[in-house]
Structure formats: structure tokens, C-alpha cells
Structure 1
Amino acid sequence: MAEAGTGAVRVEKVRGRSALTRCFARYPLKLIAPSKVGPTSCDAVWLYALTYGGGIVSGDTISCTVSVGDGCTAAITTQASTKVYKAVGSKCSEQLLEARVGEDALLAVIPDPVTCFSTARYHQKQVFQVSANSNLVVVDWFTSGRYECGEKWDFSFYKSVNHIFLGDHPLFIDSVLLEQGSNWSLAEQMQEYNVIAMVVLLGPKLKSMQELMQAEVRKLMSGQLRPPTSGGSLYTMRSQPPPRPQRPPLIASCSPFGRTGTGMVARVAAVSTELVYSFLRHHLAALEPFLEPHGDEVLKRPDVGLSSTRVRQDGLHVGATRGNGAEAGWGWKLDGAMDESRAEETNGQKRRTIMEGVGDGET
């Protein structure tokens, strides 16, 4: 097994403001905290979790602990989708996150999606320890793979586990498992849908967001799932059976959790990554007051600064660019973070070459 990549992050109040007091990462994990944080009115720490070469090699284990102190605000995101390269034998790629969110604190975990290559094996676990009035946003989502290259639900194993605890009491326990079966393949079961997403909102600061999202999703789905009606008299004999309702390009549902409904989980399935990005941008727009100025870039000017990933002819992601492209992004990726990422590209070139061989060749 490859050497485990371990990270540790601590955010605390320093002179009345959220500040990063500890940030440690070991290969293959890289944590970037942009120094360009905008005006002094911004009280949020932003972190970008990267890997050398932009993906996770078979057998890698990346673990990270995060502590957000009382009254602090922090956001963890990525600069592009997390690629999981082809498995070597039965080796699994793993990511583990343990986070503690203090009193009246806010933690937003808002990465780009996970994309598993053909035959990849991936396991992710995230455990959050919260207080009675902590606030938490978790976006956990993945795609069918490099479906434009013909790899659609072609990975071998995917498992994602999310646990939220209030003290010793479990508030939210969720597990998603996809594995190739002997009778039905994943592609046959998922049909035309290429993206699966889950959004968790928890805490008093996010209550209005929860209520608005539930109302809008209910309205959206009531219109999309309504069966088609035909004109004519009620007494007209039908020569053909009524048409079946077509599957909408995006399906969503919301449900509360917790004893008093303090949390909400939304689940989304869509035919394209762009549809889910649009859904998330719209429904998470209310985070802007907590996370600006970064959120301001995507929420007020969604047509400017959208990040994308340049794709080679063989489908391998090789670099980040600005503007609309092969893969739409959150849009809140700062130039400062991208400059630091480019500085690390030379150091990660050897690892990138290895991963390209694993991703493109036979294992």
C-alpha cells in the first residue's frame, strides 16, 4: 500500500476573527489556504484539498482531521473533480475525514464530484462531531466516470459513508454502496443518470435555507413527475394506453432529520454534471453572507470565473482553465490558490506520469 497521506487543520478565533492556526499535510495530500482573502469584512477560512497529479492512485489512503472552533467559519473545497484511477488488483483508494464543529461555528464541505475510472475501487468515510448549535453543510457527490470516453458506471466498487454525531448521539447515519453485480451491471441499474449527489444542511443558521430548498424541490418535482394529460372528452374511447411519464433529467428529494428537524438531507440524481452544479449553486446561494468574498464570485457572477478542466483526447484531465469547458465548476476557485497549485505541478509530475499509465493502460 502507498504511504498514507495525512492532514490536520485547526481553525480558531484570533483577535476576534476566524484564523487558521494549524495546517499540516503529507504526500499525496496537499492543503492550500489562499492568502488573498479579500476585504477585512470576510470572516471565513477557505481551504483547498488537492492531490499531486489531481487523482488518487490505487492503494492510497488519505486521511484528514479538521477542527473548527467556537464561533468560527471554514469552508473546504477542491479545484476540480477527484479522479480515482484504475484499481491494481483488489487494492482500494480511500479518503477519511474526521471533523469537529464548535458552538455557533459553521463548516462547509463543498467539493467537486468524485469520478472513478474503469475498474476503480473507492471508499470514503466522513465523520462529523457537532454541538447543539453547530452549523454544517456537506456536499457528497460522484459521477458515472469518464462517460464521454465510454466509461459509464464502469468502476468496480464505490462506498461513501457519512456520520454526524451530537455528543454520543447519532444524528445522521448514511451509507451509499455501488458494486458491480452478477445479474445487473451498474450501468443497467442507473440507466440514463450519470450523477448522484447528497446535500446535508444542519444548524440554526441554515434553517431558512432548509425550508426554502424543501419548498422549491417540492414544487420542482410536483411539476416534473405529474403524468401527461390528453385532451378530449372524458367519455372518448382510447385506442392506445396512456403514455408513460418521461423521466426528468434531474430528480431531487428532501427530508428532515433530527428530533426537532434541525437538519435536512437532499438527494439528487441527474443526467449531467452541469445540471447538478446549477442545482447546488442555486440552493446554496444563501451561504454567501457566511463565505464571501469567495462565494460572491460564483453566486453573483456565475458566468465569470467558472473553472473547468482541460481534457485530452483520451479523456484524462490534465489542467485547470478559466471559462466554460469540458467540466463546469463551482466558480469560487481563487487565482491565489491556482497559482500555488501550479507551483506544485512540477513536483507532482512524476506521480502524474505514473497515474496516466495506470489510467490509460492495462492493470
Structure 2
Amino acid sequence: MAPSKLEQGHGRVVLHNDGNANVFSEMSATYPLKLLSPQLPSPDVSVVYMLSYGGGLVGGDRVQLNVEVYDGARLALLSQGSTKVFKARPGQRLSTRSKLHSVTTQRLTVRVAPESALFLLPDPVTCFRAAKYEQVQTLHLCKDSSAVLLDWITSGRKSLGEEWAFSQYFSLNEVWIEGKRVARDAMLLEERDVLSGPLTPRTLAESLAPYSCYATLIMYGPLLEDTMRHLTAAYGAITVFKQHAPPPLLWSLSPICEGRGCVVRLAAKETEHVKNWIGSALKQLESILGVDVYRRAFS
């Protein structure tokens, strides 16, 4: 049966393991979404790069990707560089009607079968000045599925003086186990007239200072047990003392599903601090995905 025709901006990935190696029964996408999968030596690990034409998404772009993983296969979803969100294409004049639809949206829905695994490890989202971006990522897992979901955002193009200069950023992550929602994490960042004093409006940049990168890391399943055990022990050993200045990086850990999963939140002054921390925290993925895939995600 031939796959149905995809709407603009839609994509679909279906991965099986036939007992010898992983096989994509479907991998298709339409503009502005692009999907690439390199050949790997591992028979049960595959990589799909989620890309966009022109190096980023512009106001009004709508992307929807559906992913299914079966038969014990392991799939890593990566990106090449940060997901850049523009207000509009250079030289493009928005009509009155298109301005109403200038919000850039991404939807990702993933279903992972028993003993299969999904590792969503993209580079961070970087919103340019005045951009509006919304994303919803939903994972449907089985009791013995495994998954890692990384969602992070930078303050923008600091070298050009753009720190938290976008208009709106909204991200919603949900994890369902056997039809029951076990995690729902939402973040909304937007410029509002919030008062820090009697007459002093506080900008978004002032509210989020001194940190320029925020991240959420959700983990679940048997393949992540050792990693979560290590992080839980490290978090329990943290001792908080009064500090004269904010530390370069802060993190917290919240268990879910009676310890079978967890939600980690991070904030750091530099994006590289977050990347290095996550790369160290997930070091055991080298034995699960292989050194090559691990380096692709954290190099």
C-alpha cells in the first residue's frame, strides 16, 4: 500500500527491525521539512536528521512530523545546528493576511513500541528578533519503551545584541505511558509589561538574566536506568550555600513514574555549559547508541 500524500510541512518516519537490521518502511517529508538518514554500522540503531530548507524556519512555517519505532529498533532524532526561527524571509513583505499567521509552529508526535527506543537530541532553538515560535512534542510510550527528550532554547544572537529579543516562545512536552499522561512540561516566554517596582517595567531579558540558555530533559525506560540512578545520586548530594553571585549553571531533577523516569531542568549563562553538562550526564548513551551517534549528538 503506497503512503498517502503528505501536506506541506508534514513528515513521517516509520522504523522497524526485521531481525537482522533496522529498516525504514517510510521516511518522507515536504517543504520546509527535510529528513536525512546516514548509513550506520549498527544493525539496531538509526539516525534521522531533521532539517529545514534555507537554514531555518520563517514566520508562518508549519511543520508536523510523526514518528513510529517498532521491533526493538533504536532511533536518534538529531539536527544539524540550532533550529533558527526568523520573523520573515529577507526581502519578503508580509501581507496583512499573512501577518495573522506569522507564528512558526512545529509539532512532533512519536510512538515507541515495547523494547524500542527514541532519543530526541536536537540542537537548541534560536529565535531571532521579533520571531514567534510554538512547538508541541508528544511521546506515546509503552511500559518497557525507552526515551530521551531534549528541549532547549538559547537567548538569541548575542553577537548581534539580540538577547531574549523575540516576541514569543512556547514549548509543550508531554509523555504518555500506556495511554496515561505521566509528564506535561510547558514553557511560555514573551514580552509583557511586568512590573518589578512601582513604575519600572521589566523586560523579558531582565527577567531571565543572567542565564542565556534553558533546557528540559525528560528520560524514561529501562535503557536509561543507570543514567537516572547516577543523576539522582548526584542531585541528592548537592548542598546549597549562600552565594554572592549566580552560578554558571543550575539544574534540578524531578522523578516521574515512581522513579522509572525523570525530568531535569537546566539554566546556564552559556549554551556550551548546557551542552557539556548534558553530554556528560548522558555519557552512557555511548554504549546504547554507539560512539559515532553519541558524538554526532554532542560534538
Match in the other structure for 2:245: 246
SS in 1 for 2:216: strand
Task: Report the counterpart of residue 153 of structure 1 in structure 2.
Answer: 164
Please name the residue that 2:143 is paired with. 132
* Mapped partners of 1:251, 1:295: distance in 2: 27
Aligned residues: 276
Aligned equivalents of 2:25 and 2:81: distance in 1? Answer: 26
C-alpha distance in 2 between matches for 1:296 and 1:134: 20
* Structure 1 CA distance for aligned equivalents of residues 233 and 166 of structure 2: 35
What's the offset of the Cα at 1:17? 2.4
Q: C-alpha distance in 2, partners of 1:119/1:4? A: 25
Residue matched to 1:348: none
Which ranges in structure 1 are unaligned for 5 or more consecutive residues?
A: 228-243, 299-328, 332-363
Q: Report what 2:67 is aligned to.
A: 66
Per the normalisation by structure 2, the TM-score is: 0.88
Q: Which residue of 2 aligns with 1:121?
A: 132
Gaps of 5+ in 2: 1-6, 89-93, 195-201
Shift of 1:295: 3.3
The Cα shift of 1:70 comes to: 2.9
Paired residues of 1:5 and 1:63 also in contact (CA < 8 A): yes
SS, match of residue 284 in structure 2: helix
> Of residues 136, 149, 174 in structure 2, which corresponds to 1:163?
174
What is the TM-score of this pair, normalised by structure 1?
Answer: 0.73
Q: Which of the residues 278, 285, 308 maps onto 2:276?
A: 278
**CA offset at residue 167 of structure 1?**
2.9
Distance 1:296 1:74, change over 3 A: closer
Which amino acid is the alignment partner of residue 272 of structure 1? E
Aligned to 2:85: 84
**The residue matched to 1:118 in structure 2 has which SS?**
coil
What is the rounded CA distance, in whole Å, between the counterparts of 2:31 and 2:138 in structure 1? 22
Distance 2:159 2:208 in 1: 16
CA contact (8 A) 1:108 1:136 kept: yes
Which stretch has the larger CA shift, 12-21 or 179-188? 12-21
Q: CA RMSD in A?
A: 1.6
- Mapped to 2, the partners of 1:76 and 1:165 lie a distance apart of 19
1:213-362 correspondence to structure 2 within 5 Å? 213-219=231-237, 221-222=238-239, 225-227=240-242, 245-258=244-257, 260-295=258-293, 297=295, 330-331=298-299
Name whichever structure is richer in strand by fraction: 2
Classify the secondary structure of the residue corresponding to 1:132: coil
Asked whether 1:101 is paired with 2:112, we answer yes
In the alignment, structure 1 residue 187 sits paired with structure 2 residue 208: no
Aligned counterparts of 1:44 and 1:290: Cα–Cα separation in 2:
9
Q: Secondary structure at the match of 1:56?
A: coil
Percent of pairs identical after alignment?
36
CA distance, structure 2, for counterparts of residue 286 and residue 295 of structure 1 = 12
Aligned equivalent of 1:33: 37
Q: Any idea what SS the aligned residue of 1:285 has? A: coil
In 1, Cα distance between the equivalents of 2:235 and 2:8? 40
Report the alpha carbon displacement of residue 4 of structure 1 after superposing the two structures with TM: 3.4
Whether the 8 Å contact between 2:112 and 2:145 is mirrored in structure 1 is: yes
Q: Deviations over 1:217-270 (max 9, x none)?
A: 444x42xx422xxxxxxxxxxxxxxxx532101000011012x22110100000
SS of residue in 2 equivalent to 1:62: strand
